[in-house]
Amino acid sequence: MSVFNELERRVEARMKKYKRVIVSYSAGKDSTVLLYLAKKIADDYGIELYAVHIDEGIAGHSDVSRRIAIKVAKELGVKLLGVSLKEYFGITIDELKPKFSLPPCAACGPMRRQLINDVGLRIGAPIFTGHNVNDDVETLIINMFRGERRRFLEPTGGPGMVPRETPFIDVSEETLEKAAEELGLPYKKEPCPYAKLSMRRKIIKHEMATRPKEKVIELQKVMRMIKAFHVTKLKSPRFCKYCGSPSASSVCRVCSIMKELGMLEERIRRTRERRKKFRIEDYIITDRWIS
């Protein structure tokens, strides 16, 4: 069986149970392969497909990603939804960086995750992401050793959270890179300029890239077992007292970030306004990027 057939089988197995699906599409190699396969399967099964691309507001990087996202979405004939952190949270990652105590990734990740979950809730569809085994192990190690048990054990499902599907979670980065090259579609090759600021992530990434993929998969299994053991001890899910998002503690990470930036009031106001209107068009730049 070719690599492509194997990847397609994984996506198909997860997708065919849904009528509507959202692909979180960054324009990187993993999500490009995922979007290509998701389109093929959506056509075969008559599934409604959306691609959601988030503009982080990182000069140079985000513009390139957006251009590629539009090009590929057009080429594949997929409906592209464009959402920006600026419109949604009132701040770009470039604006946040000088005011925030941690590397930008520590804010960008939770903001993007919460945004995409909200989009999923409004559209009423699960989120498919292209995360591979290297991403998974990297995140598990970082959260485990950050000394914050809460982060390692963050809820991954439950009330207020749309289902997350990660069909490539045990596929190596190397395999997806080969698949993306074979496809011949454009994808973003340059990493985000802020990625290098997270030293721990950089070290783990390098370590994993130098190990055989089987070893990385074994490590993932062990980490997931440890997580599963602890997760069973978690109390029932909670919701943030400021924004109502699912959260492992009384204040979600995005609200904690906004508090540090002095933007909590704005955050609460924006959340309230969105609740009142309850229309996805209010915060998704639908089709505007496709025209």
Output the smallest distance, CB 154 to ligand SF4, in A.
16
| Identity of the residue, 114 or 143, whose beta carbon is nearer to Zn ion in the bound complex | 114
280: closest CA among 149, 114, 145, 120?
Answer: 120
Cβ(208)–Cβ(138) under 8 Å? yes
**255 touches Zn ion (CB under 5 A):** yes
Segment near ligand SF4 (CB under 6 A); pick from 120-128, 175-183, 189-197, 213-221: 189-197
DSSP state of 12: H
| Identity of the residue, 33 or 255, whose beta carbon is nearer to Zn ion in the bound complex | 255
Neighbouring CB atoms inside 10 A of 228's CB total: 9
Output the smallest distance, CB 108 to ligand SF4, in A.
3
* String marking each residue 69-98 x if it binds ligand SF4 according to CB under 6 A: ------------------------x-----
Could you give the angle at the alpha carbon of 116 between the alpha carbons of 16 and 166, nearest 5°?
Answer: 40
Taking the C-alpha atoms of residue 250 and residue 82, their distance in angstroms, rounded to an integer, is: 30
**105 touches ligand SF4 (CB under 6 A):** yes
Neighbouring CB atoms inside 10 A of 77's CB total: 9
Residues 193 to 222 in contact with ligand SF4, rule: CB under 6 A: 194-195
Binding site for ligand SF4 (CB under 6 A): 56, 93, 104-105, 108-109, 192, 194-195
